[in-house]
Chain A
Amino acid sequence: MARKSDLLQGTLDMLVLRILDRGELHGWGITQKLERLSNRALIVDEGSLYPALYRMEEKGWIEAEWKMTENSRRAKFYALTRSGRRQLEEEKESWERMSAIIAQVMQSA
């Protein structure tokens, strides 16, 4: 099980925002989707996910609503807000800039 320290600080937030950008989803769905999209390379620890979700909800990046799932269970669905979308853009930009720099350093060194 990947510990939360294994993910770069703040990266989890970005990944979750990115997944929610495609549509609202519940906590369980987020873990599943993260695993699938990363070809099971990333296994998200629930112990990190829920605190992150609550933190982002507090910051107003996402908002939650209780809805029914396709197999009719009640689940808490998270959706991106406008400020969450803005946050995602910012994080994406800085991530791309950062990874470009790192890549450059790693290649040239």
Chain B
Amino acid sequence: MNFVRRLFRSVTGPFRRRRVEADMAEEMRFHLAMRAEEQAASGVSAVDAPDAALRKFGNVARIQEEARAQRAGATWEQLGRDFTLAFRSLRKSAGFTLTGVLTLALGIGASTAVFSVVHALLVAPLPYRQADRLVEVISEHKEEGMSGLAPGTFGDLAAGDTSLSAVTAQYYYYLNLTGVEPSARLVSADVTIDFFKVFAEAPWRGRLLQPDDFKPSAAPVAVLSYGLWSGQFNSRDEIIGQQILLDDISYTVVGVMPASFKDPGETAQFWRPMRAGVDDLQNRSSRYWTAYGRLQDGATLEQANAKLATLGQRLAHDHPRNYEGWTLRASDLRALVIGNFRSGLLVMAGAIGCVILITCANLTGLATVRALSRRKELAIRTALGSSRLRLVRLLVAESLVLALLGGLGGVILAAWGMQALRASLLEAWLPRADEIALNLPVLFTAVTAAVVTGIVAGMVPGLTAGRVDAGDALKDSSRGSAGPKARRLRATLIVTEIALALVLLASTGLLGRSFLGLVHRKSGMEAERVLSLTISLSGPRYNSSPKSWSYYSRAETAVAALPGVEAAGFTQTSPFRWGIPAGFAPIRGDRPAAAEDFPQAFFDSVSIDYFRAIGCSLKAGRLFNSYDDADARHVVIISETAARRYFGNENPIGRLLTLGLPSTFEVVGVVGDVRRSGLTADAPLQVYRPLAQRPPAFATLMVRTSVPPLTLGRAVQAALNRVDPDTPVSDIATMDSVVSKSVTQPRLHFLVFGLFAGLALLLASIGLYGLVAYSVAQRTREFGIRTALGAAPRSILSLVLGEGLGLIALGVAFGLAGSLASARLLEGLIFTTSVHDPWVYVGAPLILSVIALLACLLPARRATRVDPIIALRSE
């Protein structure tokens, strides 16, 4: 009953307001009148009685305000009034509003755009069921920096005591899809029997792989990824149960996986039962498998790691020849998915924090100035019965309105910035790139950041400026001067902003110098004029070396004959994509040196024209020629670094290398170094042998062109199709793009930090400008007097600049300390320079100081132009 009544009153409250107000006023009037009569009766004169009554009564407005607050629904009504008032006063000071909204929009926008990347890669759960229970089981040799699981190890893993409820292993395999238009080269993940048990996923269409599919007698089957199904097979449902031709063998498509389910390495396009490798379970030396496991219920990663370490020790004990130095451990699957992006992402997350802090500091500074210049208004509100809480609420409401407007602008900017960021990285490879989006968690974070920033920015000046003594503020001159407390607050904010901006700027300097250094590094190729594409030969047509070799030579001739092509040559593995390591040793006297004493070399089969095609020059000896065929003596060409490492200063030509006697390779030439694992890594040792002596099953064709390489893509593809229509061409790209892909991360870091540093500089400058401008406006009369008394403009200028300079110096000092302290975090992200690069630590403060000084100079110049007469009259 009571509740219903309250509800009714709170709903009707707003409509009764006018009556209630009138009632209240009349009631107070009655009270005062009675009080006055009482005073008069006790001898106070009739004239003074009402005043005396009023004095006794106290602040009528405040009592009314408190009485009002007792009414049901009053809270909502007041909130509404706060916001109406906030909107009105924000509209009145458009300059402040615009600056505030822009500050927030830029800060929130930039950090949200970058956060969407960090979130997708680092925070968002992986698209697997109970993804936090999934691990990769890693077998690694820390000292040699090698990893990979041998099939034999997997056997022990599956049988052993591991805290894992299921384990599976896989490797990738290239197959040619033929019998359809167009034919294509596909990548399969050949998986062991428990693969879908580990990943616990249901199919989108059809069924998963079943135990029966793994029997040696079973008919070949394949489960397609959503991407392959919707792309190559046009999302046709009839494909389930149909046959497709892979490497000339017929496979039945039994299922399609959902779009969310992706190969953890984002490579495989379909899954098929591992067959060939299962026979290999005794193999403990070829480490070409990747293993995944699911933690048992209740088991922790630490427990799994402890048990795996024990298993690793047992293996090293039982098979020392294979496992000396090798250890086993489990790793969070995310580590595999995002690879070495992790440390960069963490640093970016830190930078986001810096930007949010700067934004918050700047907005707080702005709001403080505004609150100060409104002291008189606030004092009048206090005098008219507004409580302190009410004032703070009003200021917070204003900031909230500002924050929401700024947040909205920020989200719009973020959407645009994210597109730009994605576009600039599109060429390059980013894991989980298609999951980067302004999704709900990202938007929620952005709005929360905006609102928290708004509340802080409103609260701080609300608490300091809300403590207004009505009398003082009203007596004060019309401007109202900043109290020492508010001044100190603003100075602290500015120093913080400058310091944080310097940290970002210095980091940008380091990352930028490193990135530019990388870009100018020589790859060893003339990559900008080279088109590359990959083919793989499969089926009975290419089951022998002569047959493969015949394809390669015909293909090379056909492409080389095209107009616009200067040279075309095959290589088994492509630099900047992958390579095959091998442990060579030089033969000294009649005995080989120990292979362990030399770093692993990359071993490649290349055709005669390969070096000409990539623009790698001969340094000594000769290149391959048509006499280096299958029947000829085994010869190799080595890179300069290899020549130096194997033979020191001796002439390498004519010397012998071996992978193990009795077979040897005679060095016939030395060529320039070519980097292999990206621009961030040094060129490795390299040994080339003639393609004719060992034609591989797949190879990359390098085409050197006299026209922009991609314009020849179609013509080259057509020429290769004429040689053999059933051998598909894939991975068509300019070598230039392949090379620059290897600097994706440095580019991303530089881009993000550059964006952030620019923003931080802008915000800090705005803050500084605002501070100095405000203090100049405050001291107009003082400057007028100084000028009138003969002060030179120069001395006034230095007076004003002195204040700004002090803050800049302090900010730079803190910022330098911060940069040096945080430089350690950039350690792994800097390649061509040191994290203590002196140029950066001199240059960044210099740039920052100059810009900050300019921000002070603009308002300072205004101070020198103060006309004493106007200034003195102005108050």
Contacts and interface: CB of A to CB of B under 8 A. Distances in A.
A74 interface: yes
Interface in A41-68: 45-47, 50-55, 58-60, 64, 66
A73 interface: yes
Contacts of B59: 47
A60 to B, nearest CB: 6
A28 interface: yes
B30 A28 contact: yes
B488 interface: no
B30 A47 contact: no
A59 B2 contact: yes
B30 A73 contact: yes
A46 B58 contact: yes
Contact of B71 (A45, A54, A75, A83): A54
B34 A28 contact: yes
Interface string A73-101: 11110000001000000000000000000
B30 A74 contact: yes
A55 B694 CA distance: 97
A59 B70 CA distance: 10
Contacts of B26: 74, 76
B698 to A, nearest CB: 84
Nearest to A73: B30
A76 B70 contact: no
A76 B27 contact: yes
A51 B66 contact: yes
Interface in B49-71: 56-59, 62-64, 66-71
Contacts of A83: 2
Given A26-B30, A28-B31, A47 B71 contact: no
Contact of A28 (B23, B24, B35, B72): B35
Contacts of B67: 50-51, 53-54
Given A26-B30, A27-B27, A28-B30, A47 B63 contact: yes
> Interface residue tally of chain B, by bracket?
20 to 34
B71 A46 contact: no
A47 B66 contact: yes
Contacts of B69: 51
A74 B28 CA distance: 12
B33 interface: yes
Contacts of B633: none
Interface in B65-93: 66-72
Nearest to B37: A71
Contacts of B622: none
A55 B28 CA distance: 16
A46 B63 contact: yes
B22 to A, nearest CB: 11
B475 interface: no
Given A51-B63, A59-B2, A76 B57 contact: no
B36 to A, nearest CB: 11
B3 to A, nearest CB: 10
Contact of A51 (B30, B57, B70): B70
Given A28-B34, A60-B2, A83-B2, A47 B58 contact: yes
Interface residues of A, number: 23
B34 A76 contact: no
B57 to A, nearest CB: 5
A46 B30 contact: no
Contacts of A73: 30, 33
Contacts of A26: 27, 30
Contact of A27 (B5, B31, B64, B70): B31
Nearest to A54: B70
Contacts of A52: 70
A60 B28 CA distance: 21
B284 interface: no
Contacts of B27: 26-27, 50, 75-76
Contact of A58 (B24, B33, B35, B70): B70
Nearest to B68: A54
A84 B391 CA distance: 35
A24 to B, nearest CB: 14
A28 B30 CA distance: 8
Contacts of B57: 46
Contacts of A28: 30-31, 34-35
Nearest to B10: A58
B275 interface: no
A47 B62 contact: yes
Contacts of B68: 54
Nearest to A45: B58
B56 to A, nearest CB: 8
A58 B2 contact: no
Interface in B1-60: 2, 5-6, 9, 23-24, 26-28, 30-31, 33-35, 56-59
Contacts of B56: 1
Interface string B781-808: 0000000000000000000000000000
A76 B25 CA distance: 11
A27 B31 CA distance: 7
B584 to A, nearest CB: 90
Nearest to B28: A50
19 contacts: A1-B56, A28-B34, A45-B58, A47-B66, A50-B24, A50-B64, A50-B67, A51-B63, A54-B67, A54-B71, A55-B70, A58-B6, A58-B9, A58-B71, A58-B72, A60-B2, A66-B23, A74-B30, A75-B30
Given A27-B30, A27-B31, 12 more contacts: A1-B56, A46-B58, A47-B59, A50-B28, A50-B64, A50-B66, A51-B63, A52-B70, A58-B6, A58-B9, A59-B6, A64-B23
